[in-house]
Amino acid sequence: MKKDQMPSGRRAVLRLAAALGATATVGVLAADRLAAPDRAAGAASAPRRTPGAGAGPGTGAEPGAAGPAAGPGAKAARPNPNAYRLRPMTAYAPPAYRRALPPVRQRPFLSVAGAGRSMVLTFDDGPDPRYTPGILDTLRRHDCRAMFFVCGEMVVENQDLLRRMAAEGHVVGNHSWSHPLIPKLRPSRIRDELGSTSEVVERVLGTAPLWYRAPYGAWNRHSFEIGAELGMEPLAWTVDTLDWTEPGADSIVRRVLDGAAPGVVVLNHDAGGDRSQSVAALRRYLPELLDAGYRVTVPRR
């Protein structure tokens, strides 16, 4: 037998060993290729942290627990090469619907266009458990909808009232967190006041406000810009009942009835002081408006 000759059985064993080795090598390379896109997808899907989210103005708090360290020194754990099998395919999923942001206004809306003799009743500064329930009771009795511009610090303590507003068809608007004079604030503080209130309303109701009103009716350019960024339109008023001065229920009723007209927006308050006169006045002027042919409604967006 020549030296280069080998029994057929031994040659078969060597061929089998070579084939198994090549298969293992290909498997390792394939697994490494599959792991690379998985790592990239994991990095791209990492959530961004929103400054100030979930905290009241001026707290400086940031949401959630601290995530893993980021930067050149951070080591990312290598994902399981087979993890991609558990990921759903989203390439053909329809995009999530997002409402288009409104334009940046230069002044707030003072009235609301509508069909026929429609008016809008608005209530600021609440919700307040002493007065808001009585206002809601009267509106429900007459099957009318209104707008409530709420303050974030009041919402935190009265979330059930906010849920009742939404459940009964009323529109919840943003009236800042702590009712400050907006033009005296830095833009970052304005963002905190409006942004934190929108966040707490969305957390309670599932949707963020689409309307906002500056405290004291004091607007500035920054408030219009930030409000638009948050997806809100600015709404002021046509008729001021001056109920915050506690002029008496008779005076409040007279101002509403004298100012009644199609498209009018009426300013009332359900918090921020003794609002018992506002509650009593609504019981009187609302049925008179309805008897006069007015439709009390809310704007749509």
Q: Out of 32, 124, 160, 222, which one is annotated catalytic?
A: 124
Q: How far is CA 17 from the centre of its chain?
A: 64
Cα–Cα separations (whole angstroms), residue 248 to 241, 287, 288: 10, 19, 18
Q: Out of 170, 175, 179, 269, which one is annotated catalytic?
A: 269
- The C-alpha angle with vertex 286 and arms to 282 and 292, in degrees rounded to 5, equals 150
Rounded Cα–Cα distance for residues 145 and 74 (Å)? 54
- DSSP-based three-state secondary structure for 57: coil
The tokens describing 86, both together, are 């558990």
Dihedral Cα 268, 274, 280, 283, nearest 10 deg:
40
- DSSP-based three-state secondary structure for 118: strand
- DSSP-based three-state secondary structure for 226: helix
The tokens describing 182, both together, are 């907006």
Helices (H) and strands (E) in the chain, counts: 8, 8
End-to-end CA distance of the chain: 95
Catalytic residue check, 124: yes
Cα–Cα separations (whole angstroms), residue 186 to 57, 60, 178, 182, 258: 12, 15, 15, 8, 39
Q: What amino acid positions are annotated as catalytic residues?
A: 124, 269
